[in-house]
Structure 1
């Protein structure tokens, strides 16, 4: 349900910010900001796979887990997508996600929620017995040790 609220609230917030900030920047300034952040986003998207490969390779060379570099890379790619979208709010979120300490805070919160969700999961074991009963209507399976079936 909350995702629907986000999809409804973000465009309304972006329009309000375009009206407020766009009045201060003017049309040319607002369009320049939109195109500049989109250009930066495209550059980031093109460079991120190479940076990710380098970071993962460096982590593996140190015998460390590549999970952290991959998570940071995913957040940097999300930041680039947010920068690509036109709007001041999404640009602000994108710039914030490019900062390493903000990514660390986001990942810490994400792992905290994942650990809590994992701790809530309880394994349920249902004990029982079963018996295999062949279907009486199906033909019997051929036996491999049957001398009549040998070539």
Structure 2
């Protein structure tokens, strides 16, 4: 429940405050150009990384492997692309972290550890 509060209330409020500060400091037009630029760059990066991940998943499937890591990459790229399309600097930083492969590795590591803990606690059950 506390994460829902952060997602719905705190992050948009911080984004608005940061956008107002940026508009006052840099000016309205440079702030708007920065928002548009991060959206365009984010869409390009998401497309490039997404296509690369699809190719990697195809190769893994052709070799008879389950593309687990490619699926986690795909989830990170999807969320990162969505965050970059949202207006605001905080979501842009989060989106870039999810799109760049070095930082995405760290995020995937956290995702895997979180899933492992939930499986060990019995919150998630795997049926074979």
Q: TM-score range by the shorter chain?
A: 0.7 to 0.9
Shift in Å, 1:78: 1.0
Q: Judge conservation of contact 2:45–2:99 (CA < 8 Å) in 1.
A: no
Q: Judge conservation of contact 2:56–2:70 (CA < 8 Å) in 1.
A: yes
Alignment partner, residue 12 of structure 1? 13
Judging by fraction of residues, say which structure has more helix.
Answer: 2
Scaled by the length of structure 1, the TM-score of the pair is 0.70
Decide whether aligned partners of structure 1 residues 73 and 9 sit closer, same or farther in structure 2, where only a CA change above 3 A counts: same
Gaps of 5+ in 2: 124-128
Shift in Å, 1:58: 2.4
Scaled by the length of structure 2, the TM-score of the pair is 0.81
Alignment partner, residue 126 of structure 2? none
Alignment partner, residue 118 of structure 1? 119
Alignment partner, residue 109 of structure 1? 110
Distance 2:102 2:49 in 1: 18
Gaps of 5+ in 1: 123-151
Distance 2:102 2:65 in 1: 20
Distance 2:81 2:88 in 1: 13
Shift in Å, 1:42: 3.3
Count how many residue pairs are aligned between Structure 1 and Structure 2: 122
RMSD of Structure 2 on Structure 1 (CA)? 2.1
